[in-house]
Amino acid sequence: MSQMGQYGGQYFVCYDLQWGGKHHPDIPVYFKTNLGHGKNKPHSALETDESNLSAFLLQHFFEVQRRLLSPPEVTHKIADNTLEVTLRFDSDNPAESGRIWWMFDRGTDGSGAYLNKFFPDDQWLEMTADKENGIWTAEIPLTGSAKTIDFYSNHRKTIGYKGEDYPSYLSSAYRRISLKN
């Protein structure tokens, strides 16, 4: 599982999040909101209990209770000045939580505007869950002047090993949606 923007850890610059999210949504990633590129301004809603590396290694080498999430299928539609986002996980391996972040009119991948603009503290939501069916939804209010919206979500799944819990997180594919025709 790729980890982006770790505190004090190694960081790999990714200039093609939008392209990767569109063409390879099945690659598991985890985006730590507003960290990376030498920035250390974590989002106010950032997950603080993440132990992805331990969970990944334990699942890879040992028999664990509960397995890591697989990337969800992401769909969206625009209706009544709202972006409706739906994520579908395997119903036999549901996520425990869902949180979505968005940003309007972010710069192009790898540009200074892209790297220096943070996800705003007021542009995130806890998603609504239908855990029995593995579905998470969110309704994001759109602004009349925005040309694009970028979004992704993070989801927790706790891995158990020898009586210890290891919260892991997986992000949905990063998406940019055009709001103007």
Our count of domains for the chain comes to 1
Is 85 or 45 the better-scoring residue by pLDDT?
Answer: 85
List of residues 6+ apart from 34 with CB closer than 8 A:
5, 41, 42, 43, 46, 118, 119
Q: CATH code at 122?
A: 2.60.40.10
In angstroms, the first-to-last Cα distance of the chain is 36
Domain around 107: 2-178
Give the number of other Cβ atoms within 10 Å of residue 133's Cβ.
Answer: 11
Phi, psi (5° rounding) for residue 144? -65, -25
DSSP at 127: P
pLDDT in tens, 101-129: 999 998 877 677 777 788 888 999 999 99
pLDDT tens for 71-96 read 999 999 999 899 999 999 987 888 99
Q: Supply the pLDDT for residue 116.
A: 73
